[in-house]
Amino acid sequence: MLDFLLVSVLPTVGWAFLGFLVVFLLTAAAGSDGGTLSKEFPWQFRLAARMRTPVLVFFVVPLSWFQRLRTRIAAAPARPAGLPCRR
């Protein structure tokens, strides 16, 4: 069982992570304009400014959507079994 995971699943996960990392870095390079920041700012601050767009696109927005979906599902009234849903 472990051999199967190491041979087939692990390389797939590695390639998926590498693909995500490439798309993340391309989004950071194209999506945020860090060129307007002065060189007087520390490099950490400029790097954080460049990473703001991909973090929002790939993490914050999907998490917000899932949270809203979970809240909507939890708030939906439960209907008794056997009753048709209203339309």
Taking residues 43-67, what's their average pLDDT?
88
The tokens 């209907």 sit on which residue?
79
User: How far is CA 74 from its chain centroid?
Assistant: 23
Listed residue (14, 8, 54, 48) closest to 31, CA to CA: 54
Whether the pLDDT of residue 34 is over 60: the answer is no
Q: What is the pLDDT of residue 69?
A: 92
How does DSSP assign 21-84, residue by residue? HHHHHHHHHHH--GGGS-TTS-HHHHHHHHHHHHHIIIIIHHHHHHHHHHHHHHHSPP--TTPP
Task: Note the pTM of the prediction, 2 decimals.
Answer: 0.57
Band (pLDDT 50/70/90 cuts) for residue 52 is: confident
Kindly report, residue by residue over 56-69, the tens digit of the pLDDT: 888 999 999 999 99
